[in-house]
């Protein structure tokens, strides 16, 4: 089996690349270890807590014990299914802040500033304002990725946003438009009541074209001959090992955890680490697997004084009713991820653009589906966006079936603790406003008794969870940067015929959820792969708080 391009990973970026390459008439073979995304557990938006906790759809990774979080090992779901993590995620759509991409360019990712990437966000989107306002001039129409908004029917959404306004924060009716900072509607990759994953948006249309196929197999390593990638060694489902040949290039898009693992198994990575595992060195790239970043968050939960939350449906009969309505009509509560209101704020004066994100949910529940014992309640997921803590992904062994060693090194910087305390105290201030206090009985978590720095730190240590946004492990940079892994055209430095395009290449984690930026990376990488001139830079100017140097809000 061979094709012009062999793509490893049918995730957010890989699907976008397959779509654009086949659109240009190239033959593409996509290697994906996972299987089908058929069925309501993936396709029904409200069922999001199920697939990320199922071995059928998830790689089952977890961090090593985290020394600054009391030795806890945190689960790190990654999608093992067509669509990758876009098929098991929370479907929240955030582009990231303009300054995030300007920072990428300053860090050596030439051609990836906000002016450079905004045209790709527009190209990929089919944006729907859903009658809630928005910023049409900043958004895209006609792209494969449908972006919508939930109905926000629950009164808690309006109460939360109004409480933030009363606390002195701005409102924004489109955080993906000119102004991210503020509170307003949250966007989701849902279309006509169905999860609009990268598989639905990109891969399935690509597979309907001549010259595109998918192979279900485990990618073991990239085959490199005389310094050039010529194919991928795979293990088929029946145990057979064979090589899939690429006539033009091999493209890794296997996630920020699996892409560095495959590079290292192929002999590309830190020389000493590869030698430990007896792997012959092809290219000494010490940055492979380094620079691991993630978003950490806590769930601040409030017990509700009125039965207006989704807890009324949190029982077998209620879930069955929601599921049946969705199956027959694609409408109702099952048609939304329920994350329908959002906020982006700055933690303190002197921070130029938001570094705290809010997801609001009219239910007190964990990502694993465990509802709070209090019954009726609601919560915000809140955490800092730009931690300086860095971790690493390394090999456990030279066996391609072995899970990688994942060390995030969360909360290893003193500033992390200051920022997290600010998250909790600023959130309490919002929940103290008169717009929302009538809905609050008491604070479930952390609990009003926890007030001192030490008490809040203890809560963070025991209860902070990953937001499931790992990235940065194969950083993009200039070719003379010893720690860069790919150049700004997504070519792996030191090996010909090999590209890498997924969230691994992010120099620094963007401000928000990573599915949108990952798809954008695939879109832009496709133009580089095809040798096309990038889309013309945009001239749009984002809104920055005029007094950010002296005011927190």
- DSSP 3-state assignment of 328? helix
Residue 15 near residue 83, CB atoms below 8 Å: yes
Give Cα separations from 306 to 95, 322, 365, 375, 442 (angstroms). Answer: 35, 21, 17, 11, 12
To the nearest 5 percent, what fractions of the chain are helix, strand and coil?
Answer: 30, 25, 45
Rounded CA-CA distance 216/30 in Å is 8
52 labelled ligand-binding? no
Q: Is 91 annotated as a binding residue?
A: yes
Alpha-carbon span 211 to 4, nearest angstrom: 9
Tokens standing for 232? Answer: 């991928």
CA pair distance 304, 156, nearest whole angstrom: 10
Q: Which two tokens stand for residue 305?
A: 């004084």
Residues with a catalytic annotation lie at 469
**Residue 199 tokens, joined:** 């598989």
Q: Is 92 annotated as a binding residue?
A: yes
CA distance linking residue 523 with residue 375, whole number of Å? 44
The 3-class SS string of 141-152 reads CCCCEEEEECCC
Question: What is the Cα–Cα distance from 425 to 423, expressed in whole angstroms?
Answer: 6
Residue 376 DSSP symbol: S
Cis before 446? omega within 30: yes
Q: Supply the DSSP symbol for 227.
A: T
Provide the pairing of β-strand 2-8 with 241-252: parallel
Q: Per the annotation, does 302 bind a ligand?
A: no
Say whether 90 counts as a known binding-site residue. yes
Chain-centroid distance, C-alpha 407: 18
Strands 145-149 and 125-127: parallel
Q: Give yes or no for a contact between 359 and 367, defined as CB atoms under 8 angstroms apart.
A: no
Annotated binding-site residues read 81, 89-92
Annotated binding-site residues for FAD read 81, 89-92
């Amino acid at each position: 089996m061979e094709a012009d391009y062999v793509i490893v990973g049918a995730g957010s970026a890989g699907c976008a690349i397959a779509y654009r390459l086949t659109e240009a008439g190239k033959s593409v073979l996509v290697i994906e270890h996972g299987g089908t995304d058929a069925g309501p557990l993936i396709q029904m938006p409200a069922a999001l807590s199920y697939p990320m906790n199922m071995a059928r759809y998830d790689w089952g990774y977890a961090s090593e014990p985290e020394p600054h979080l009391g030795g806890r090992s945190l689960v790190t779901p990654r999608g093992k299914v067509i669509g990758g993590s876009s098929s098991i995620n929370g479907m929240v759509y955030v582009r990231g802040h303009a300054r995030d991409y300007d920072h990428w360019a300053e860090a050596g990712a030439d051609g990836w500033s906000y002016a450079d990437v905004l045209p790709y966000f527009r190209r990929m989107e089919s944006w729907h304002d859903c009658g809630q306002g928005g910023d049409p001039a900043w958004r895209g129409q006609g792209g494969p990725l449908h972006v919508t908004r939930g109905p926000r029917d629950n009164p808690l959404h309006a109460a939360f946003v109004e409480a933030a306004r009363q606390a002195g924060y701005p409102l924004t009716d489109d955080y993906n438009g000119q102004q991210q900072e503020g509170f307003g509607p949250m966007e989701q990759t849902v279309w006509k009541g169905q999860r609009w994953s990268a598989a639905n948006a990109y891969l399935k249309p690509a597979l309907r074209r001549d010259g595109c196929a998918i192979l279900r197999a485990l990618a073991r390593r990239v085959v490199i001959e005389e310094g050039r990638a010529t194919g991928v060694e795979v293990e088929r489902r029946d145990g057979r090992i064979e090589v899939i040949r690429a006539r033009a290039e091999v493209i890794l898009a296997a996630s920020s955890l699996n892409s560095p693992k495959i590079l290292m198994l192929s002999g590309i990575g830190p020389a000493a680490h590869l030698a430990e595992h007896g792997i012959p060195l092809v290219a000494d790239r010490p940055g492979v697997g380094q620079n691991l970043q993630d978003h950490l968050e806590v769930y601040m939960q409030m017990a509700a004084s009125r039965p207006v939350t989704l807890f009324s449906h949190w029982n077998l009969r209620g879930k069955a009713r929601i599921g049946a309505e969705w199956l027959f009509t694609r409408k109702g509560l099952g048609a939304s991820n329920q994350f329908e209101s959002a906020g982006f704020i700055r933690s303190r004066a002197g921070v130029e653009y938001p570094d705290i994100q809010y997801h609001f949910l009219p239910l007190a529940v964990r990502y694993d589906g465990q509802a709070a014992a209090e019954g009726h309640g609601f919560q915000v997921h809140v955490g800092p966006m730009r931690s300086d803590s860095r971790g690493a992904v390394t090999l456990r062994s030279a066996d391609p079936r072995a899970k990688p060693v994942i060390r995030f090194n969360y909360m290893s910087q003193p500033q992390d603790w200051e920022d997290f305390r600010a998250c909790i105290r600023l959130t309490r201030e919002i929940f103290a406003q008169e717009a929302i206090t009538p809905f609050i009985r008491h604070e479930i978590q952390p609990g009003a008794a926890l007030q001192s720095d030490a008490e809040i730190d203890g809560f963070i240590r025991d209860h902070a969870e990953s937001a499931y946004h790992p990235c940065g492990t194969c950083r993009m940079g200039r070719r003379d940067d010893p720690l860069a892994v790919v150049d700004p055209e997504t070519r792996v430095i030191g090996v010909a015929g090999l590209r890498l395009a997924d969230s691994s290449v992010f120099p620094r984690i963007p401000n928000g959820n990573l599915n949108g930026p990952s798809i954008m990376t695939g879109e832009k990488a496709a133009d580089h792969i095809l040798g096309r001139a990038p889309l013309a830079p945009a001239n749009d100017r984002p809104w920055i708080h005029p007094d950010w140097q002296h005011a927190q809000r």
